[in-house]
Structure 1
Amino acid sequence: MGLLDRWRRRRTEVSVRLNLPLQPMHRGDWYEDALIRRFKEQRRGNRMTGGGTELDADRRIVAAVVDVALADPVDDELDDLIDLLVEQCAPRGSSLSMLGRAKVEFGECGVLALHLPAAAPPDVRYEHVPCTYAAMDFMEQLPDAADGVFVVQTWWSDADGTTVYISAPDLERARAIVEPLIAAHPVGAGHAFEVLVP
């Protein structure tokens, strides 16, 4: 057996499906970068091997995928991997898949989608995505208002408007904070909430 074959046998490939329509850059910010840092700190031979997005029939993102290789014995590493993903606010309904094993579900946050109809065509490019100044201004208020109750992990903006995805263990508490902010903001006219992940 060659050196490469021995290296491969010492790790188990694990595919992580995050039940949230994360843009690729936000998948990196919230999950891939955190995993890389943790793996480097642990020095146990775990590695990031890839990442991607899951699309629906209309080519809209419905979930994010992160692929890792965990050092054997893999059972010793799985709990630590799940703990880190939960620390990063992984949504309920997320899962781990491994060849020859049953899927493992995890996640402690629900996801609330806040839809902001477009009042004007996108007029700036914000984090490489078209967006309006008004939507940018509103989103920049959310981290200070969150007070540890929720996080905004991703958002999407196009000609139809902007959708902000709010992750929280308690969606009612999160909505109670966000509702007065959006009601008072110019971008809030015609807004709508949708529970994406209960």
Structure 2
Amino acid sequence: MPRTLDVTLNARLRPMDRGDRYEDPLVEAFEEADIDCEPTGGGSLLSSDHEPTLCDFSVEVDCDADTAVSIAVAALEEAGAPKGSRLQVDEGDTLGFGVTEGVAVYLNGTDLPPEVYAEGDVNVLVEELRSHLGQEGHLQSWWQGSRETALYFYGPSARRIQDLAGEVLPRFPLAGRCRVVPLPLTLP
């Protein structure tokens, strides 16, 4: 009898990033276990500024509930699921899971001198952050609003991500007036 797994990730992700980082590896994990798995939908909760605050998706699997939970949690945590994420099978009890903590780096998009925007390259900044963070933090997604752009990093310790990012950001004029904010460890 097919089971429905409802996954709510305490992650700020664009839909494509959600699919690449979490949905696809989950489907692959079930396929590797020789279990049929079919995605059935997903979405993101957005703030009033249209910034993602969490995302969710559902899959239908053809196995018992314990096997479904075991495979799903292992695959999602290996992919870097944030603490505070939830899994529910067939509208039953929810199970919390997750292994990473998140930090958003909000780059100011309106209040810096025009030449900073003209001469700065956000891709160079992102690459330097990625390199400096190493295994301590991974860029999982980003968001561009009307006044700022957010870079969402997740790793074992939000504090460590903040400290390492703080070593890089002052070297980049494009990071002037940025905010570095730890993300909540619980769902909104």
Please state which band the TM-score falls in when normalised by the shorter chain.
0.7 to 0.9
Query: Could you tell me how far 1:59 is from its partner in structure 2?
Result: 4.1
Residue equivalent to 1:39? 30
The residue type equivalent to 1:171 in the other structure is A
Residue equivalent to 1:81? 72
Matches within 5 A, 1:86-105: 86-105=77-96
Residue equivalent to 1:6? none
Count the aligned residue pairs.
181
Q: 1:58 to 1:18 in 2, by over 3 A?
A: same
Secondary structure class of the residue paired with 2:74: helix
TM-score, normalised via structure 2 length? 0.86
Residue equivalent to 1:15? 6
Secondary structure class of the residue paired with 1:148: helix
The residue type equivalent to 1:55 in the other structure is L
The residue type equivalent to 2:17 in the other structure is H
- Using the alignment, how far apart are the partners of 1:74 and 1:54 within structure 2? 27
Give CA deviations for 1:51-110 in whole Å, capped at 9, x if unaligned. 211234554321111211122312122112101111111111110123341111111111
- Using the alignment, how far apart are the partners of 2:2 and 2:151 within structure 1? 37
Runs of 4+ that moved beyond 6 A: none
- Using the alignment, how far apart are the partners of 2:91 and 2:8 within structure 1? 17
Q: Which has the higher contact order (CA 8 A, sep 6+)?
A: 2
2:108 to 117, 133, 137: 117
State yes or no: 1:62 paired with 2:53: yes
- Using the alignment, how far apart are the partners of 1:45 and 1:57 within structure 2? 38
The residue type equivalent to 1:111 in the other structure is G
State yes or no: 1:138 paired with 2:125: yes
- Using the alignment, how far apart are the partners of 2:145 and 2:46 within structure 1? 17
CA RMSD, Structure 1 to Structure 2 (Å): 2.3
- Using the alignment, how far apart are the partners of 2:120 and 2:26 within structure 1? 33
Secondary structure class of the residue paired with 2:41: strand
Residue equivalent to 2:162? 175
Larger-gyration structure (1/2): 1
- Using the alignment, how far apart are the partners of 1:41 and 1:175 within structure 2? 37
Q: Is the 8 A contact 2:29 2:71 kept in 1?
A: no
The residue type equivalent to 2:180 in the other structure is F
Q: Is the 8 A contact 1:149 1:168 kept in 2?
A: yes
TM-score, normalised via structure 1 length? 0.82
Give CA deviations for 1:116-166 in whole Å, capped at 9, x if unaligned. 10145xx8xxxxxxxx95222211223322221111101112331211111
- Among the aligned pairs, what percent are the same residue? 25
Which residues of structure 2 form unaligned runs of 5+? none
The residue type equivalent to 1:61 in the other structure is P
Moved more, 41-50 or 103-112: 41-50
Secondary structure class of the residue paired with 2:169: helix
Secondary structure class of the residue paired with 1:156: strand
Residue equivalent to 1:191? 178
Which residues of structure 1 form unaligned runs of 5+? 1-9, 124-131
